[in-house]
Every structure is written in structure tokens, then in C-alpha cells.
Structure 1
Amino acid sequence: MLESGLIMLLIIFSVNIVYVSLLTVRMIFTLKGQKYIAATVGVFEITAYTLGLGLVLDNLENVQNLIAYALGFGLGVISGMKVEEKLAVGYITVNVISSDPSIPFTETLREKGYGVTSWYAYGMEGDRLAVQVLTPRKYELMLYEVIKDIDPKAFIVAYEPRQIHGGFWVKKVKGSRLKREEEKIQSE
């Protein structure tokens, strides 16, 4: 009897981790406009949800089932976030304000394969170089490292664009040079 109760708790816990992880992934694909992928993930998500909730509702007198469901939900949130980080769907726009406008920021980033737009700006402490970089999210952390290598004092702000149209990035780059750069960094 005890063994079957533990198995039930483990099943409820595991199913809810899967359900919430899928929910997170489906939401990401929905927000990115990937409707067919989101719908496919949603089919598996609702199946896991129905299964897990059904097990809890059929055994409401066992409070430990509800606790396993809640703990599985919490761990599913963390798991879903980890999966989303690994998927890194979409693009990120990074705005950088360099502490020194004479640093060859734009050239260095372009040599590494990034699409860059730059302009001179004036800040509280004088002249600055403002740089805007668009990159696939999977290269986001690598970009931050490159920026810190170029100018450790740079001010960095990042956001996800909702729509991209035209420009150098869409036509030429598409990550080919960035992939080579990533491979080079990983081999070091």
C-alpha cells in the first residue's frame, strides 16, 4: 500500500513538472508567433495537465497528492525556464554605450559577425559611442562577453524586438559568422 502511494506521488509530481515545462515552452512559441509549434506543444501540455489534475482530483482525500502537484508545478516553472534558455528562440537587441568613443567598438563587433549600428552621443561625463546590435538569442551571452572584452565599463541594455524587417542583418548575416565565432570560442 505504501509503495503504491509513493508511486502515485512520484507520478503526480513528474506529470506536473512536464505539464508546466510544456506550458512555458508553448507560451514562448506563442509570443514569438510560432503558432503551429505552439499548438503542437499545447496538445502534449493539455494531455499532461488533464492526466495530473485527474489523478489529484480522484484522490482528494490524500493531501500529499495535492502537495506533490504543487511542488511539481513549482519545479516545472524552473524546468520550463531552463528549457527556454536552451531554446533561445528569436533575437535580442543590445544597446551599448561605450565609456570611450575612440575604442574601435563597431569594427570589432562587425569583424566578429554582428550587425551593428553606431552613432556618437553625449552623456553626463562627455562624448560617448552608442552602439546597437541585433543577434540571435542563442548568441546573447557570447555577445556580452565580447562587449566586456572590448570595453569593461560599457553600459549595456538588452531587449527583444517584436518585429524585424529589412536591413543588413536580415539580408547578409543570419548568424553564419557568429556560428564560426562561437565554435572558435568553444574550442579555446
Structure 2
Amino acid sequence: MLENGIVMLAIILSVNIVYVSLLTVRMIFTLKGKRYIAASVGVFEITAYTLGLGLVLDNLDQIQNLIAYALGFGLGVITGMKIEEKLAIGYITVNIISSNPDIPFTETLREKGYGVTSWYAYGMEGDRLAMQVLTPRKYELMLYETIKEIDPKAFIIAYEPRQIFGGFWVKKVKGSKLRREEEKLQSE
């Protein structure tokens, strides 16, 4: 079977897509502090890596194998990123500056289940309402849509917190209202 050139290329390409996807996912779990999951993924990652590289090294005289390996690496990066987006592990902190401090922004976000800390600020063009919202990453896009509905001119900055202690998320069941909001949006 490995004598057939096209089959060999397909195998090398596929193995490297799997390897790099696993590498990306393992790296995400490592960065999120999920060491046992990262180690488990690493076992499969190194197995795929060894298989793919072995196939290429056994056939170094075939340039197309090296090209398939490199192409598989690139496609694996894209695939791994897509998998990471779907997993959406962790939380995101979103800083929002509303163009109009009179909009009932804070109340609207809290009604939808978000934990919001807000304060009045002064910007170049006058008074503003500044807010900080913490949400599970899987609800990040839903939060952006909600913000744009409330204030299309809002200024948004998002980042991932490394540690979370106390506050809204410790006191409430994480995301229960948000799950209901997501289900409501999906049914529409």
C-alpha cells in the first residue's frame, strides 16, 4: 500500500495535519494549566509526529513527500486553530467604553447574565461609561453582538485573564443565564 505514491502523499499529509492539530490543542491545554489533559494529548501528538516524520525520512529521495509534510503542517495549524475556537476554554475579560453614559448598558448586560463592573469616565469627547465584563470564552461572540446592539459605537478591548479569584463568578452558577440566552438566540 505504501508503494503507491498518491496513497503515501495522502498518509503523510493526513498524519501531519493530525500531529500539528494535536500540538496546537496540547499547547492550549498547557497554557490553561490543564497538565494531565495536555500530557494525554501529547502522547497521541508524538505518536503522529514520529509516524509522519518516519515516512518522510524513509523516502527522502521523494521531494513530493517533503512537500506533503510541509503542506500538512500548514493545514494542521489552521485545523488546530479551528479546534481551539470550538473548545473555547477559559474566560475572556472585555473592557467596554460606551459612547453614551445614559444608555442602560450595565443593567441590560446584567439581565442577560453577565457580571459587569462599571464606572463613569471622561474621554476626549466628554463623559463615558466604562465597563468590565468577565465571561466564558464560548459566550464571547454573543457578548460582542449584545454590545453592538446596545451601542454600535462602543469601544471594546478583550483579553484573557490568567487568574480569577472571588467576585461574581464565585457567587453564581457560572454561565447559567448565559446558557439560556445562547439557547434563545439559537432557536431564533
- Superposition TM-score, scaled by structure 2 size: 0.98
Which residue of structure 1 lines up, in the alignment, with residue 123 of structure 2?
A: 123
Which residue of structure 1 lines up, in the alignment, with residue 20 of structure 2?
A: 20
Q: Deviations over 1:79-131 (max 9, x none)?
A: 00000000000000000000000000000000000000000000000000000
Which residue of structure 1 lines up, in the alignment, with residue 32 of structure 2?
A: 32
Note the C-alpha offset of 1:168. 1.5
Identity of aligned residues (%): 87
Q: Which runs of 5 or more structure 2 residues have no equivalent in the other structure?
A: none
Q: Is the 8 A contact 1:99 1:153 kept in 2?
A: yes
Which secondary structure state, in structure 2, belongs to the residue aligned with residue 135 of structure 1? strand
The size of the alignment, in residue pairs, is 188
After alignment, is 93-102 or 168-177 more displaced? 168-177
Note the C-alpha offset of 1:170. 2.2
Which residue of structure 1 lines up, in the alignment, with residue 88 of structure 2?
A: 88
Change (3 A) 1:173 1:110: farther
Q: Is the 8 A contact 2:2 2:8 kept in 1?
A: no
Q: Deviations over 1:3-45 (max 9, x none)?
A: 7111000000000000000000000000000001100000000
RMSD over aligned Cα atoms: 1.2
Spell out structure 1 runs of 4+ moving beyond 6 A: none
Which residue of structure 1 lines up, in the alignment, with residue 61 of structure 2?
A: 61
Q: Deviations over 1:128-156 (max 9, x none)?
A: 00000000000000000000000000000
Distance in structure 2 (CA, Å) of the matches to 1:25 and 1:171: 30
Which residue of structure 1 lines up, in the alignment, with residue 106 of structure 2?
A: 106
Which residue of structure 2 lines up, in the alignment, with residue 158 of structure 1?
A: 158
Distance in structure 2 (CA, Å) of the matches to 1:175 and 1:52: 41
Distance in structure 1 (CA, Å) of the matches to 2:170 and 2:144: 21
> Which one-letter code corresponds to 1:135 in the other structure?
T
Which secondary structure state, in structure 2, belongs to the residue aligned with residue 162 of structure 1? coil
Distance in structure 2 (CA, Å) of the matches to 1:51 and 1:153: 52
> Which one-letter code corresponds to 1:72 in the other structure?
G
Distance in structure 1 (CA, Å) of the matches to 2:173 and 2:106: 15
Q: Is the 8 A contact 2:88 2:138 kept in 1?
A: yes
Q: Is the 8 A contact 1:120 1:129 kept in 2?
A: yes
For the pair 1:147 / 2:147, whether they are aligned, the reply is: yes
